[in-house]
A = this chain, B = another copy of it.
Amino acid sequence: MSIKLLLTGGTIDKHYNESNGELDFVETHIPNLLELGRNRSNVNIQQVMLKDSLEMDDADRQTILEACTQAEEAKILITHGTDTIVETAEVLAGKKLEKTIVLVGAMIPFVFKHSDAVFNMGFALGVVQCLPQGVYVAMNGQVFDWNTVAKNREEGIFEGKLSTHPPTFA
């Protein structure tokens, strides 16, 4: 089984810019993360963009959709900023691709000591391998159907209906 890993940026991949003290993007940390996790699953990484999801527009979402459509793999994992992860999921779901698509992000960038990035990526890489076709958001150790999930910005968590596809979630 091959997995396409599409990188789009988001908090998970932000970097500390020493010259101005801000967080921005330079290059992805995801290969380092997978190495830390000693991943040996067959992951094909494609960097689609590195953007804060608040700055993504319709054209960006079409670009992500295009990458999903073009992917030869039936399993697609997408790193994404959490602020508009649901909007992108909706665009992807509209295409009704015969693929399993899981979107994942992090509340704290990988480069911080207390980041949730490693846990989230491990989790998402697991569920994308097991879930049937559909579009999902994986956060907080939970799998959500794309059409029920929402980010609770006050609490910094995701909420919604947990995915329950049989026999997986019997």
Which residues of B sit under 8 angstroms from A162, Cβ to Cβ? 1
- Cα–Cα distance between A93 and B109 once the two chains are bound (Å): 39
Contacts of A130 in B (CB 8 A): 126-127, 130-131, 143, 168-169
Pick the contact of A111 from B22, B52, B114 — CB < 8 Å?
Answer: B114
Whether A118 contacts B122 in the complex (CB less than 8 A), given A41-B142, A127-B130, A170-B132, comes out as yes
Stretch with Cβ within 8 A of B (4 or more), from A30-38, A56-64, A65-73, A84-92 = A30-38
Chain B residue with Cβ nearest A142: B41
- When distances are taken between beta carbons in the complex, the residues of chain B under 8 Å from A167 are 132
Alpha-carbon distance A141/B123, docked complex (angstroms): 9
Q: Which residues of B are found within 8 Å of A16, using beta-carbon distances?
A: 108-109, 112
Any chain B CB within 8 A of the CB of A149?
no
Kindly state whether residue A147 has any CB partner on chain B within 8 Å.
no
Interface size class of A (residues with CB under 8 A): 35 or more
Residue numbers in B under 8 Å from A125 (CB-CB): 123, 126, 141
Residue contacts A-B, CB under 8 angstroms, 11 given:
A34-B141, A36-B114, A37-B120, A37-B123, A38-B119, A118-B118, A126-B126, A129-B142, A130-B130, A130-B131, A130-B143
* Beyond known contacts A16-B112, A19-B156, A123-B125: 19 more, CB 8 A cutoff: A16-B108, A19-B153, A22-B22, A37-B123, A38-B156, A40-B142, A40-B157, A41-B140, A43-B141, A111-B113, A118-B119, A119-B119, A119-B121, A126-B138, A126-B141, A126-B143, A129-B142, A130-B143, A168-B168
User: Which positions in A face B, CB cutoff 8 Å?
Assistant: 1, 11, 14, 16, 18-19, 21-23, 33-34, 36-41, 43, 52, 74, 107-109, 111-116, 118-127, 129-132, 138-143, 153, 156-157, 162, 167-170
